[in-house]
Chains A and B, each alone.
Chain A
């Protein structure tokens, strides 16, 4: 029971819910950029939440199945096809031994999750099957898939039901301009009051340099710094700090010009100041942003960040119940 990769797509990796516990040594969480979409895809094929699936960016792979399987595609609107016949997204469908799964053009969002009943059974590395390409770790040989790769599948955990679907109101395919809620803090005190206002007033656009490590944004006004003598060891640029840890979702602004929001494959630390952190509830949204899409940042306090977290947990529970 295996998947034969005929065409890899642009960058398709094996991802689960990640590899916590090694960030203090520079190994990031990794795992699905859009965790909700991964969990939804797994639910549709009767997998556990954290089973490994494929994350395809912008363009789908082409895969031949060696045995009958139940598959579901969620996340970005990337229409799946079985031997050329289009299948619905957010709904489980059957694929027979020898048939080929391929994809049409991306309609919305950025990352599609392709779950197969039983899960992708690559070896566990440090407790996860997620791929961390920068460290050549996990997934299939520590890298994005190539043509000719063969991925084993695990045994189905429960009997999957083709036709199971996520009701349209509970889907989040991406594609809309977003508002990202951010808790200001960390080194927020380094910028002027006016710069702080501009940051939230300005409309930002996703830059082409947007990947699993971080999403870069452009188009807003540069941030002005409050003057200070740089502390010993920090480096000479006003945006430099003595190299520190970087929270997931933290917003660093090298040189004060282009904010970068760190994501699942975050660099664990470095010497650029950060003005705050995007709340955990909104990180999935970032994973579905395409270059040139617009985003605004909105300041929130801890209470609102936690309310947003509860709201997402409730929505996910509702989704799983509906499936």
Chain B
């Protein structure tokens, strides 16, 4: 990993920790951005961690661009390869795979897709070498995912699958982006999963939909009352397949204000994950399900 610094105009410093995605790159970026936050540098106005990079917005009337650059490099050197442990939370997200709403949308934009004759799930299963959609869904919902970035639009999580690279699901994005995506679509593009927090344009393949809102600008939903955005970088996600009845029941609970997401606090160690991903994931899921 070679860190690359670049100015984004006169108000941003853009830092690429690594060209390719890895949990190591994410953790290094997270450590540096945490250290920048702790340093409380005058003139720094926004600190935005991303998957394998991060961005600092600053006021050049308060701090000179070169001075901030020097300071960031000093922090990077002092942080080293970064902390490899994280006190975080694991969240279970119900997903209705192959639901009628994303199905309607993917049919509407079929001419923008690599494989007009199938569905996005058919395509993703095939290009990733799965026997069929069921096996693919089992893999998608089988391992935990790491929230490595929040953004694009309000509160949208980018999620990195916590399995060995050879097993990671990878799919190209649509040939041309759609102009519509249902709210709460569970999507995938490149190596990243996502949940569309709002309805809108999108280029990721669509696998299903969750009944659990993750963004509420009115702050009326119980678990979003304190803050309108659910996800934070570093969260761990586990998808749970539900059928139509399970989806409808959850939507009803959300509407009634009784839906409570399953959330548990966990400690994650990057070294332990690298040493044995299967055992680490089993332990995480044990915490989630109260084992």
A residues with a Cβ closer than 8 A to B are 20-21, 23-27, 125, 132, 134-137, 142, 183, 185-186, 231-236, 240-245, 247-250, 267-271, 274, 276-281, 302, 305-306, 309, 313
Contact = CB atoms under 8 A, between A and B. Distances in A.
Contacts, number: 176
B153 interface: yes
Contact of B151 (A24, A234, A306): A24
Interface in B117-176: 149-156, 158, 160, 165, 170, 172-173
Contacts of B165: 232
A233 to B, nearest CB: 3
A302 B51 contact: no
A279 B158 CA distance: 29
Contact of A244 (B50, B65, B154, B190): B50
A271 B46 contact: no
Contact of B16 (A233, A244, A302, A313): A244
Contacts of B207: none
A242 B53 contact: yes
Interface residues of B, number: 54
A26 B217 contact: no
A140 B289 CA distance: 43
Contacts of A244: 14, 16, 50-53, 55
B14 A245 contact: yes
Given A25-B151, A235-B189, A279 B48 contact: no
B284 to A, nearest CB: 22
B168 to A, nearest CB: 9
B215 A135 contact: yes
26 contacts: A20-B45, A26-B151, A135-B154, A135-B198, A136-B217, A142-B217, A183-B7, A185-B6, A232-B191, A233-B20, A233-B21, A233-B190, A233-B192, A240-B173, A242-B52, A243-B158, A243-B190, A243-B192, A245-B55, A245-B151, A247-B11, A247-B55, A249-B8, A268-B153, A269-B48, A277-B8
B153 A26 contact: yes
B12 interface: yes
B239 interface: no
Interface string B251-281: 0000000000000000000000000000000
B255 to A, nearest CB: 18
A242 B21 contact: yes
Contacts of B286: none
A65 B233 CA distance: 47
Interface of B: 6-12, 14, 16, 18-22, 45-55, 57, 60-61, 65, 149-156, 158, 160, 165, 170, 172-173, 189-192, 197-198, 200, 215, 217, 228-229
**Which of A242, A268, A306 has most chain B Cβ within 10 Å?**
A242
Given A135-B154, A247-B55, A269-B152, 15 more contacts: A24-B47, A26-B151, A27-B229, A135-B215, A136-B217, A186-B8, A233-B51, A243-B50, A245-B55, A250-B8, A268-B48, A270-B152, A271-B173, A302-B7, A309-B60
Contacts of B153: 26, 134-135, 267-268
Contacts of A250: 8-9, 12
Contacts of B48: 23-24, 245, 268-269
Contacts of B57: 23, 247-248
B51 A243 contact: yes
A242 B46 contact: no
A245 B50 contact: yes
B12 A277 contact: yes
B154 A26 contact: yes
A104 B281 CA distance: 64
A183 B152 contact: no
Contacts of A281: 10
B16 A24 contact: no
Contact of A26 (B46, B53, B156): B156
B263 to A, nearest CB: 18
A194 to B, nearest CB: 22
Q: Which 4 A-B pairs have the closest CB atoms?
A: A233-B21, A247-B8, A277-B9, A231-B20
B20 A247 contact: no
A10 to B, nearest CB: 19
A245 B54 contact: yes
B156 A183 contact: no
Given A183-B9, A305-B10, A21 B16 contact: no
A72 to B, nearest CB: 27
Contacts of A274: 8
Contacts of A249: 8-9, 11
Contacts of A135: 153-154, 198, 215, 217
**Which of B10, B65, B228 has most chain A Cβ within 10 Å?**
B10
B113 to A, nearest CB: 14
Contacts of A132: 154
Contacts of B11: 247-249, 280
Given A135-B215, A243-B192, A271-B189, A233 B9 contact: no
Contacts of B60: 306, 309
A24 B46 contact: yes
A240 B190 contact: yes
A269 B8 contact: no
